[in-house]
Amino acid sequence: MFSLSFRLIWNDLRKNPRKYIMKLLILSILFSATTVTFLMPEAYRFLRIGPFEGAQYDISISGPFNTRNLSALTKQKEIDSLVGLSNWGGLRIMNIQNSRTVNSTTWFADDMKKAGILLPNNETILMKGSFQPDSAVVSARVADYLGITVGDHIRIGWENYELNDGIEYVISGILYESSYGAIVIADYRPYKHVIYKATEKVSSSNKPAYYTSIYINLNNDVHIKNLDSWISSIIGFTNFTTEWRTARINSENEEFERFAAGTIKNQRVNLLIIYMVIVLTLFILILRRDRKLYTILYACGVPIRFFYTHFFTKAFSILCIVTAFSLWLAYLYFTKMHFYYFPGNSWLNLIGFAVLIDLIALLLVLVMGFQYIRKYSIAYSLNREEGL
């Protein structure tokens, strides 16, 4: 019985393979989008909150700083460690081997080892490699676009600022993407004179700020009542803003909760409904197309249980193919197209969601299909011919 069923399915497929492939592709893309919405919150949480949970800084300070400011802060007994950054937007990053380029936000850190511990983009979100002195770490999107990996060389240039200065680094690590997007973190010290020169050229001030942000880790027994006043008394000016890491985590958590409870939840429900409606419509069309074949076979003495078996085999085969292909598309979406991150234990979760959804779809299809098949008896066909 199953061999005849598979033979009929194969003959049907050979008659119009392009049509079948298009249907399977459309269903797979839609089902992939549906399954993605179930894992999206976990990935989005990693993107928004993970970097700050893994970072070891307590306070971030944004403002115009120079080396004296960093030195003054470093001497404070309240501070355990700090890292200074020179933040640049739109620097041109080039893969020296193939000359491919991309514009990226770039952070020059005065200590790469401390950067790997203190910064939001830290060693806890490394895909591979590590933070090393005299080197650079890039996010996955930059690495993928340039076609680089650990050990390759890049050139960082200021062409977008109409400057010809360029500096070269070896890649020591690749980060997962975060809420900061595509980013490069490079060691400040080997090319300090070049970065100073570029800063002076683009600055409108007679006293350019060589650092634009500082991340500080406080000693555990320190309690600072008025943070801004304390910092101002050390560096001698008030033109800066501060933020506690805990406050940033709370802010990111609120953003995540709004996303998980609102946007993604609505998208998930809508896509599920659309997918179920399309699946049921597709199988209704298949049943109507096969009505003559079923009626003829029934008239030739083929038992009705064969039609049940044949329809189950066809529905099960189609949904299995759709499930397998959609899982592959979902994996590509997370690792290559959007997040460049596949959440832990996600294969089990993804397979579980996909199987559960398609089992429900299969059950609905079979209930509907078996009702249609019962109408394909000779008596029903004759009644329709006679208009009864």
Confidence label for 83 from pLDDT (cuts 50, 70 and 90):
very high
DSSP output for 42-92? HHHHHHHTHHHHH---SEEEEEEE-HHHHHHHHT-TTEEEEEEEEEEEEEE
Share of the chain above pLDDT 90, in %: 44
Residue 143 scores a pLDDT above 90:
yes
pLDDT of residue 177: 83
pLDDT of residue 8: 63
Ranked by mean pLDDT, the top range of 26-30, 140-144, 148-152 is 148-152
Share of the chain above pLDDT 70, in %: 91
pLDDT of residue 388: 43
pLDDT, average across residues 34-51: 85
Q: Identify the H or E element spanning 185.
A: strand 183-187
All structural domains of the chain, each given as residue ranges with its CATH number in brackets, are 2-49+252-386 (no CATH), 79-218 (2.40.70)
pLDDT, average across residues 61-71: 91
Residue 373 scores a pLDDT above 90:
no
**Structure-token match 């409904």, residue found:** 273
| Lowest-pLDDT choice from 13-27, 60-74, 191-205 | 13-27
pTM of the predicted protein model? 0.79
Confidence label for 290 from pLDDT (cuts 50, 70 and 90):
confident
Sign of the dihedral through C-alpha 14, 15, 16, 20: negative
Structure tokens at 237: 């000016």
Ranked by mean pLDDT, the top range of 159-163, 268-272, 373-377 is 268-272
Residue 2 scores a pLDDT above 60:
no
- Tens of pLDDT, residues 229-266: 999 999 998 889 999 999 999 999 998 888 888 778 88
pLDDT, average across residues 344-366: 86
* Closest residue by Cα to residue 285 from 68, 73, 27: 27
The residue ranking higher by pLDDT, 92 or 160, is 92
